[in-house]
Amino acid sequence: MAQTPEVILKDIRAKRFKPLYFLHGDEPFYIDSISDELEKRIVPESEKGFNQFVLYGKDTDVAGVLSYARRYPFMAERQLILVKDANKLGGIEQKEQQARLEDYALNPLSSTVLILCFQANADERKSFIKAFNNHGVVVQSKKMYDNKLPDWVASFCQAEGVKISPKAVQMIVDNIGNDLKRLTNEIRKIMVNLRVDQGIDAEAVERFVGISKEYNVFEFQKALATRDVLKANKIASYFSANSKDNPLSPILIILYNFFSKVLLTHASKDKSERGLATELGINPFFVKDYNLAARNYPLNKAAMVIHYLRDCDARMKGLDGVSIPEGELLKELVFKIVH
């Protein structure tokens, strides 16, 4: 069974190394994090020139990788063989070459740490991957679902020793999306600019991530939730005039997720703060926002908003055969939602 990235990183930092690592998936963040951590810790800096080898799949083949792996380290305890883009290794799709990898994985050299980084999802049922799992570590780094991002950001900040407010979490997620590398880069950029005793709040996000205080998706969603016609139109006009920095597609996704939760709020039997937070998969801090939106958008209207969003998405993609500027679509959408 593939292990979670967090568990593997914890083991590496505790210097509990394995001779084999097979890292794969469609989320490069953890593949890079684990391989970087191993690079930092396996071979001392003074020995890297002799005992650390970074190979690239397109430039070598299975036989070449194994020739490195079977060598002994030069006057050291271990050597590191890191293969990036291993899914492009010459012969990797051939059964006989996979069998060679399997043979090595069944009896790996204890003084070699071999890391294969697949920048794609691999079939863990293959024999050579099973052998890696039995004698080493297999990690699948999956793209994170949007509804898991707020908890992930909060956990990341906690691990970094900095507090972050629920609003700041939501602002970061809404404006950056599920690119984990960019999320961590932006969070660290904020942290660098904070005092030691200071947490991350909405103001810090606005200041250091470059999000407009008035004209951002979070405020746009809030204006629609409260049916603030003037503010919603004002932000929509700003987005339309700055469409390059505010593309319509991610705005539609955020609004769709929000109004889907408004529908769930109507349908939920448990209307308590804790019950709704669990049902919606959100921080309890935001329950009041969904309750307010549910009051402003009765069940039938909320269902119609979902229809408007789907229709806008289809027209944006030109499925009706007519090309309409995104700014015009957004202004029309706002009118339909708030009226």
Of the candidate ranges 58-67, 125-134, 169-178, 223-232, the one whose mean pLDDT is the lowest = 169-178
Asked whether the predicted pLDDT for residue 68 surpasses 60, the reply is yes
Q: What is the pTM of this model?
A: 0.73
Over residues 307-333, mean pLDDT? 90
- CB within 8 A of 54, min separation 6: which ones? 82, 84
For residue 80, the model assigns a pLDDT of 96
Asked whether the predicted pLDDT for residue 170 surpasses 80, the reply is yes
Confidence of residue 324 (pLDDT cuts 50, 70, 90): confident
Q: Is 85 exposed, middle or buried (0-12, 13-18, 19+ CB in 10 A)?
A: middle
pLDDT tens for 243-272 read: 888 899 989 999 999 999 999 999 999 989
Mean pLDDT, the chain, whole residue set: 92
Asked whether the predicted pLDDT for residue 3 surpasses 80, the reply is no
Give the per-residue SS3 of the chain: CCECHHHHHHHHHCCCCCCEEEEECCCHHHHHHHHHHHHHHCCCHHHHHHHEEEEEHHHCEHHHHHHHHCCCCCCCCCEEEEEECHHHCECCCCHHHHHHHHHHHHCCCCCEEEEEEECCCCCCCCHHHHHHHHHCEEEECCCCCHHHHHHHHHHHHHHCCCCECHHHHHHHHHHHCCCHHHHHHHHHHHHHCCCCCCCECHHHHHHHCCCCCCCCHHHHHHHHHCCCHHHHHHHHHHHHHCCCCCCHHHHHHHHHHHHHHHHHHHHCCCCCHHHHHHHHCCCHHHHHHHHHHHHHCCHHHHHHHHHHHHHHHHHHCCCCCCCCCHHHHHHHHHHHHHC
Over residues 320-337, mean pLDDT? 90
Asked whether the predicted pLDDT for residue 168 surpasses 80, the reply is yes
How far are the Cα atoms of 182, 218, 264 from residue 270, in angstroms, in the given order? 37, 26, 11
Higher pLDDT, 242 or 223: 223
Percentage of the chain modeled with pLDDT above 90 = 72
For residue 175, the model assigns a pLDDT of 82
Structure tokens at 66: 């194994």
Rounded Cα distance between 183 and 174, Å, is: 11
Rounded Cα distance between 20 and 167, Å, is: 41
Of the candidate ranges 65-74, 232-241, 276-285, the one whose mean pLDDT is the lowest = 276-285
For residue 275, the model assigns a pLDDT of 92
For residue 2, the model assigns a pLDDT of 56
Percentage of the chain modeled with pLDDT above 70 = 99
Domains, the chain? 5-140 (3.40.50.300), 146-208 (1.10.8.60), 217-338 (1.20.272.10)
Structure tokens at 249: 């597609």
How far are the Cα atoms of 27, 42, 51, 85, 163 from residue 39, in angstroms, in the given order? 19, 6, 11, 16, 30
Higher pLDDT, 3 or 94: 94
Q: What is the DSSP string of 237-270?
A: HHHHHTTTTS-HHHHHHHHHHHHHHHHHHHH-S-
Of the candidate ranges 14-23, 51-60, 212-221, the one whose mean pLDDT is the lowest = 212-221
Over residues 8-25, mean pLDDT? 94
For residue 245, the model assigns a pLDDT of 82
Asked whether the predicted pLDDT for residue 146 surpasses 90, the reply is no
For residue 224, the model assigns a pLDDT of 96
Asked whether the predicted pLDDT for residue 230 surpasses 70, the reply is yes
pLDDT tens for 74-85 read: 988 999 999 999
Of 2-6, 111-115, 120-124, which one has max mean pLDDT?
111-115
Task: Say what the alpha-carbon torsion angle 80, 85, 91, 94 is, to the nearest 10 degrees.
Answer: 110
